[in-house]
Structure 1
């Protein structure tokens, strides 16, 4: 399984927006330039974050985006759902019957492959749900000096 690049971009957009002073917003151009990513793709990702209620779109000439929730309230799974969608992560094609053949396929009930994938999915969802962006930001703060980031945010608000 491979997460889209939009998932990682979303995480960093949320981490940047968390640096904004209260009642301030930042536009998508500044965000895409800071992350050095495609502006058109980032706008699509931001739309997903808005639709999922993770960020707020502020209209107007000086509008932009701001966080709708604190980093402590946003999990990796929330970001995953916003970017990748709400469907099953692993969708079984129910190939057991084909694998067993016409005769034995009629007896097929329990598929070890599907069961294993469901177990993996449950573990993945549980793990993604257990990690908040607040925890991630705390780790970043403990390892790096964020003065340059804070100055950049101040200059781009």
Structure 2
């Protein structure tokens, strides 16, 4: 399994949006330039965040994007679902029946499928435990964000 680069980009977009002054928005071009990522890909990622209700879109000349959900309500799993989709991380191909050369009705749930379900549950639990608010608090303790805040003022 490989998580797309869009997931990491989403985290940084949300962190930037959390620092916007109230009732202000920023455009996707400015965000892509700040992060040094593809503008067309970032627009798709932001659209997914909008569709999931994490970001709001404002049309018009002074429009752009702003945070729709408080950081304390956004965890890594919500971002993962927005970007990667709601499907299971591991979808069993039910190969045990072929492995054993038996009819599917003759076998119990595959041990491999059970293990992968456990891994997925653990991944979800771990991702749910990490909120963007706690992440931003750690970043603020370790780094001076003055440059970022100045850049935001210039680009809103």
Q: With structure 1 as the length reference, what TM-score do the two structures score?
A: 0.97
TM-superposed deviation, 1:132 = 0.3
**Structure 2 match to 1:57:** 57
Matching residue of 1:118:
117
Alignment size in residue pairs? 156
Instruction: Tell me how far apart the structure 1 counterparts of residues 142 and 100 of structure 2 sit (CA, whole Å).
Output: 54
Distance in 2, Cα, partners of 1:130 & 1:99? 37
- Deviation (angstroms), 1:110: 2.4
Deviations 1:46-65 (A, max 9, x none): 00000000000001111000
For 1:70 and 1:106, the matched residues in 2 are separated by: 48
SS of the counterpart of 1:2? Answer: coil
Using structure 2 for the length normalisation, give the TM-score: 0.97
2:5 paired with 1:5: yes
Other-structure match for 1:94? 94
Which sections of structure 1, spanning at least 5 residues, go unmatched? none
Write the mapping of 1:120-139 to structure 2, written as runs, cut at 5 A.
120-139=119-138
Equivalent residue number for residue 83 of structure 1: 83
Partner of 1:149: 148
Alpha-carbon deviation of 1:102? 3.7
Query: Is 1:140 matched with 2:108?
Result: no
| Separation (CA, whole Å) in 1 of partners of 2:75 and 2:105 | 43
Offset at residue 43 of structure 1 (A): 0.3
Which runs of at least 4 in structure 1 moved beyond 6 Å after TM superposition?
A: none
RMSD between aligned alpha carbons? 1.0
Query: Are residues 28 and 102 of structure 1, via their aligned partners in 2, closer, same or farther at CA, if it must alter by over 3 Å?
Result: same
1:35 aligns with 2:35: yes
Give me the whole-angstrom Cα distance separating, in 1, the residues matched to 2:35 and 2:69: 22
How far 1:107 sits from its partner (Å)? 2.7
SS of residue paired to 1:37: coil
In 1, distance between residues paired with 2:55 and 2:86? 18
Measure how far apart 1:106 and its partner are. 5.3
What is the CA–CA distance in structure 2 between the aligned matches of 1:24 and 1:147, rounded to whole Å? 18
1:74 to 1:106, Cα distance in 2 relative to 1, 3 A: closer
